Amino acid sequence: MSPRAINKSGPVPGRFQRSIHLASGGTIFGFLIGVILISPRLIVAFRQIAENRYFEQKLFRLTGFILQDALQRWLVATIIFTLAGLLLSIIPPPRWLNRMVRTVSGRLALRKFVNSTALLFLALLIGVNAIIVLDKKTTSPPGPNIVLITIDTLRADHLGCYGYERNTSPNIDALARRSVLFRTAITPRTKTAPAVASILTGQYPHTHEVRNNRVPLPKKAMTLQEILRDNNYLTAAVLGNYMLKRELSGLSPGFVLYDDRMPNRELNRNLYENTAEQINRSAFNWLEENHKKRFFLWIHYQDPHGPYTAPREYQDTFSHHKNQYIPIGKVQSYQRLPHIQEDDGKVDAASYRDAYDAEILYCDDSVGKLIAKLRELVLEDTVIILAADHGESLGEHDYYFGHGKFVYEACSRVPLIIYTPSATKKAVRIEEQVNLMNIAPTILDLAGIPIPDEMEGMSLIPLIKGETFTCDEFIFLEKTNKIKAVRTNDWKYINNLEQDTDELYHLRYDPLETVNVASQNQLEVDRFKTKLREWMNSNDYIPIGKEHYQKLNKIEREALESLGYL
């Protein structure tokens, strides 16, 4: 072939190469601009990915980050395209490819082959991105909005829908008439931080490692809010309990809004918290701005927690017919109410129960207003789950106006109500016992999101549908490492590990746990003790004193002491 023939073919690749160089330069420039614009979010995202415990979660987070919005998808596309271009220009093509292409039409064909492949790859990226942008179903989750309402210190048996004779809960009762009500929902731990961590992780306390208040959830834990956020849910939490402040609980990761402001100081304690009215105000503002997006909203009302100081207009709602005087020393100092007069070293316990019920009624009014706001905006496409973190002992087992000390039913049995817009409009009642840690997998099931293997709880949807399904044959409870229990639908076995004592109650005949029948049922005691030992593992013996407590400043310590937690 003559030199002239070769020169005649030269201008074509020259123009082609200049256009490729121009495109590559524009791509690299766009890549650099994208990095500058998105670098803060990029740093946060990859820090969160690195903190995840499980490989599947790392991959899930990375995928969620890539597909979160168009800017991030374009950034990832330019990263891939730029790296591909650099590799093609630095790494020589393999010999087999050289030989194959040279047999066709020489080096020019190789260049065209490489450049056209890169351009084809870029076209594919553009096409996929366009499909994602145009198809709303891939950018907006198909599941419903989700509102999780947790109410602090709320006994199930003090709600009308659970058979209480007083009208403490007309709004919750109305919700229950259109929902699925679980008559026997059990919390695995009768303190706020461990119970709420179990709700949001679907795990027992000894698994998620929050065994007490002031112990933050480890960063390695996978939470409901993070999974929903990674599936394009907008997440928000509005909270009223001091134990849930971000630095004490470690629950804020995964929430776009984590409103833990505590503006009000309550009686007898150096604690600033949110009242139900203030929580609603914040939640309503957020709903007004975001109700058109797919969202997960968690609200935690604090009001039934002592001291029982409902607003004045609620305080005289309930009155008892028979006084019950107890020594003032049985009422913790933070619980004492000035309007309940001490007489000869004694106070009327019935008056405290009246005050507790008044707090429930006040909180119920706020729940009703929240449901009305949801009905106004998005109720036809919203799942509502209402539960409590734990109950309250009102004198059972000589334990007055407190929780966390024992694992008896007064503190461990809580309400659980699930409203779904697709369900029938009549009440459904489920007698079988369930665990609070089933809430997270149930929410994921309703949202159409796979349930991680790490969650020990299970979805309640088969139970709701009436399928033959044993959800929680055994539920395990604990009071740190001192007292552990195992519960079935009929029995509760309590083992004091320090004193090596046994308690056994037949719940079907003795729901108030007044008669210990352990000595008459040694076979049952042995069966439950074996089951309890099988469940406990090496992690279950971590001494509470060695847990990673959050360091407290003077104000926080005073607040916790006034709450009775220190």
pLDDT at 33: 59
Fold for 145-481+542-563, please state it.
Answer: Alkaline Phosphatase, subunit A (3.40.720)
- Residue 440, classified by CB atoms within 10 Å of its CB into exposed (0-12), middle (13-18) or buried (19+), is buried
Look at residue 412 and tell me whether its pLDDT is greater than 90: yes
Confidence of residue 268 (pLDDT cuts 50, 70, 90): low
Which is higher by pLDDT, 456 or 262?
Answer: 456
Query: What amino acid occupies position 560?
Result: L
Which is higher by pLDDT, 351 or 267?
Answer: 351
pLDDT at 202: 96
What ranges do the domains of the chain cover?
11-139, 145-481+542-563
- Output the six-digit token pair for 517: 């029948």
pLDDT at 243: 87
Confidence of residue 67 (pLDDT cuts 50, 70, 90): low
pLDDT at 130: 53
Helix or strand or coil: residue 502? strand
Residue 493 · residue 530 · CB < 8 Å: no
pLDDT at 52: 52
Look at residue 62 and tell me whether its pLDDT is greater than 60: no
Give me the chain's average pLDDT, please: 80
Look at residue 416 and tell me whether its pLDDT is greater than 70: yes
Q: What is the mean pLDDT of residues 494-517?
A: 93
pLDDT at 7: 45
pLDDT at 127: 57
* pLDDT tens for each residue of 164-200: 999 999 999 999 999 999 999 999 999 999 999 999 9
pLDDT at 339: 80
Residue 275 · residue 239 · CB < 8 Å: no
Exposure b/e, 385-394, CB count within 10 A at least 16 = b: bbbbbbbbbb
* pLDDT tens for each residue of 143-169: 899 999 999 999 999 999 999 999 999
CA separation, residue 446 to residues 380, 420, 467 (Å): 15, 9, 16
Confidence of residue 142 (pLDDT cuts 50, 70, 90): confident
Which is higher by pLDDT, 563 or 411?
Answer: 411
CA distance 142 to 139: 9
Angle between helical axes of 70-90 and 55-66 (0-180°, round to 10): 100
- Min mean pLDDT across 50-59, 373-382, 449-458, 493-502 is at 50-59
pLDDT at 338: 80
Q: What is the mean pLDDT of residues 342-360?
A: 91
pLDDT at 164: 96
Residue 386 · residue 172 · CB < 8 Å: yes
pLDDT at 89: 57
Q: What is the mean pLDDT of residues 366-376?
A: 96
Query: What amino acid occupies position 328?
Result: I
Q: Establish how many alpha carbons lie within 13 A of residue 191's alpha carbon, considering only the half-sphere containing its beta carbon.
A: 24
Confidence of residue 556 (pLDDT cuts 50, 70, 90): low
* pLDDT tens for each residue of 219-264: 888 899 999 998 889 999 999 998 898 888 899 999 999 999 877 6
Confidence of residue 472 (pLDDT cuts 50, 70, 90): confident
Which is higher by pLDDT, 534 or 267?
Answer: 534
pLDDT at 517: 97
What is the 3 state secondary structure string of 214-257?
CCCCCCCCCCHHHHHHHCCCEEEEEECCHHHCHHHHCCCCCCCE
β-bridge mates for residue 260, sequence order: none
* pLDDT tens for each residue of 85-118: 566 556 666 666 566 555 544 444 445 545 555 5
pTM of the model: 0.76
Share of the chain above pLDDT 90, in %: 47
pLDDT at 549: 44
Q: What is the mean pLDDT of residues 464-485?
A: 84
Q: What is the sign of the dihedral through the CA atoms of 195, 197, 202 and 208?
A: negative
